[in-house]
Amino acid sequence: MKYQSKIQSEDHGTVIEQLNSTKINTKKATDETCDVTVMEQLRICLRYFNPSTRELVERIFCLCEIHSQTGETIFDVINQFLFDLERELDKKCILVGQCFDSASSVRCQAQGHIRSRINAFAFYVHCRSHLINLSVKDTLTNEFNKSYDLIHRTLVFFQESPQRHDTLKRSQIFHETSKEGSKVPSASDTRWVYHYQLADFVWTHMVSIVSALIQIHANNKDGLETANGFAIRFVNEKFIYEVGIMKIILGHAKLFLKQTESRSMTFDKFSTYLDSTTIRIENTLNEFDYEIYKQKVKECRVLLPMTHRTAHSTRSSNPINNNSNDIHIDMAIGLNDYSKKFINSTLNSINERFGQDSRIIMDNISMFTKLNDYSNEEVLKNPLLNLYFNEMYYKHKTVNHKIYERTDEPLLCFAKLEKELPQIRVLLKSANNEVKRRQEKKTINDEVCLLDILKFLSVNGNYLVPEWLKLYQILTTLPIGSNECERSFSALKRIKTKLRNNLSSTALETAAKVSVLKSNVTDDDLDDIVQHFYMYPGRAKARNIKIYKHENNGDNSTDDE
């Protein structure tokens, strides 16, 4: 349609103009999903620095249907996309990074094809958000397995019945954990980090949940046996304690994920956030409020006598003793020792997930934000820097046992970097001072990051330190995750299923972009849309849209459909 074409052309033209102004192109994030029309959709996202606006840009550039998920097929689509882009830009694009999740077709095959057939410097980065998600999954399915399973099944039990859900809402109001009754959250099958919402809900409404379960059992409502079993297990002190620890750990993981999802996230900031998240999880016990814990245990135990196990119950027959501690441990010492296995399990998972991937980047990138703290020799021997002023060779073996090999010339010149080193040190001092001046009015000052330095150099270092400017542009735009692709998945879900089969691939791509970028639609734009549908009523009908035209005939006016 006309308006869709207008949006598509304006958005495409803007991106092409920005890419033409960049000196180092480009970093790519790719992901795929099966949408509601049962089509496999591949998203290609570009990440680059726009010197005219001094912004780090990350946006969807292509959404296309694929008929196979093999690495070869994905490579062919990406290769054709880059070929068309270079022809339109009339210049060579330098691909210096690629980001996928851990699917073998992309992690092993597609990225191998790209490095061995397009650019050997296109280092593969495992999506950081995906790694965080996997770390949380490890923790929930290992150490927290039993308590998490109980949380999940209990909340599903309430969701399955409007009557049970209503009982829970009334219990929340009665126990004053919610004014109107909070909605029961749902678990995501893939986004394990967001299971924090389940732990937070249960911790907040613990007493209300137990009370609601007891009411369901006492009133002989549907599911009374299940409610009775859940209630008995909910008042166990170990379970209550685990929920509190789980809530804190998952809360830090969720905050970490939110930080990494920012479009302006860079590897140096990510490393800082990873370290701080690890420290916060290590200090989980300092955050745990034992007084609130004891109060919840006490209130649940007051409700416990109302619960009686039936004679033919097939559930666990472990006795519940109201006058003694079930787990027979000292509150101050025993619970702390008991909780360490959960904390250590989470930390071990984080270390394992992030311990191998992209280590040469993670371990060496922070030097370039504090270059003046190091000697010339230390700077020039940085392993990450050495990658770019040496030839890069890459060899890839396909599933069909074909061999692809490629050697690319260095992206940077060592002699120029060495010559410009004194100037870059002076400029970095000025960049630090400028950032500090901007942060004088802030209550919390952020450390100078790669993006701050790149913004400064893009204005002041074009002619003084062009080789270092290239390096900072490469380092700043290294891909962190495929979050922009994930945003497009969410956007597609918001497009009505009924309309999806009537949308062309271009229209679908435009709709996803508009949803993600949140473009402003003016009154003139709306007039264009209405006029177009009025001229082509068949298109309006296909989209279930009715157009009403207001006609003025002298003093009389009628509304015609």
The residue among 341, 356, 371 that closes a domain is 356
Is 330 a domain residue? yes
Range of the domain at 101: 1-123+481-519
Let me know whether 260 and 148 are in one domain: yes
Let me know whether 178 and 317 are in one domain: yes
Cβ–Cβ contacts within 10 Å for residue 198, how many? 24
Q: Residue 7: its pLDDT value, please?
A: 42
Is 525 a domain residue? no
Q: Residue 374: its pLDDT value, please?
A: 95
HEC sequence for 395-458: EEECCCCCEEEEEECCCCCHHHHHHHHHHHHHHHHHHHHHHHHHCCCCCCCCCCCHHHHHHHHH
Is 225 a domain residue? yes
Is 152 a domain residue? yes
H helical segments located in 283-400: 284-287, 290-303, 334-356, 359-364, 376-380, 383-388
Let me know whether 5 and 64 are in one domain: yes
- pLDDT digit of tens for each residue in the chain (561 aa)? 443 444 444 455 555 556 555 655 555 566 555 544 456 778 888 899 998 888 998 888 877 778 888 888 888 988 998 999 888 888 888 888 998 876 766 777 888 889 999 999 999 888 888 889 889 889 888 888 899 999 999 999 999 989 999 999 999 999 988 888 888 898 877 778 888 999 999 999 999 999 999 999 888 767 777 888 899 999 988 899 999 999 999 999 999 988 888 888 999 999 999 999 999 999 999 999 999 999 999 999 888 654 444 444 444 444 444 444 444 445 556 777 778 888 998 999 999 888 777 788 888 999 999 999 999 999 999 999 999 999 999 999 988 899 999 999 999 999 999 999 999 999 999 999 988 888 776 655 678 899 999 999 999 999 999 999 999 999 999 988 887 777 766 666 666 554 555 666 666 666 666 666 666 667 777 777 777 777 877 777 766 677 666 655 555 544 444
Closest residue by Cα to residue 245 from 203, 300, 194, 192 = 203
Tokens (6 digits) for 85: 């882009």
Contact at 8 Å (CB) between 253 and 276?
A: no
Number of domains in the chain: 4
Is 402 a domain residue? no
Q: Residue 444: its pLDDT value, please?
A: 56
Let me know whether 114 and 158 are in one domain: no
DSSP string, 502-553: TS-HHHHHHHHHHHHHT----HHHHHHHHHHHHH-HHHHHHTT----EEEEE
Let me know whether 473 and 485 are in one domain: no
Let me know whether 73 and 150 are in one domain: no
Q: Are strands 40-50 and 27-34 parallel, antiparallel or unpaired?
A: antiparallel
Let me know whether 160 and 288 are in one domain: yes
Residues near 511 by beta carbon (within 8 Å), at least 6 away in sequence: 4, 491, 495, 503
Let me know whether 300 and 418 are in one domain: no
Query: C-alpha dihedral over 83, 87, 91, 97, to 10 degrees?
Result: -30
ω into 26 cis (within 30 of 0) = yes
Let me know whether 439 and 489 are in one domain: no
Element counts in the chain: helices (H) and strands (E) = 26, 9
Residue type, 133: N
518 CB burial (10 A radius; 0-12, 13-18, 19+): exposed
Closest residue by Cα to residue 240 from 304, 188, 157, 193 = 304
Is 496 a domain residue? yes
Give, for 17, the enclosing helix (H) or strand (E). helix 2-21
H helical segments located in 160-289: 162-174, 196-204, 206-218, 224-234, 237-260, 267-282, 284-287
Residues near 470 by beta carbon (within 8 Å), at least 6 away in sequence: 23, 24, 411, 412
Closest residue by Cα to residue 388 from 259, 509, 474, 512 = 474
Is 399 a domain residue? no
Let me know whether 53 and 160 are in one domain: no
Q: Residue 532: its pLDDT value, please?
A: 74
Instruction: Determine if the pTM surpasses 0.85.
Output: no
| CATH code at position 70 | 3.30.420
- Give the separation between CA 93 and CA 110, rounded to whole angstroms: 18
Let me know whether 285 and 374 are in one domain: no
Let me know whether 293 and 265 are in one domain: yes
Is 329 a domain residue? yes
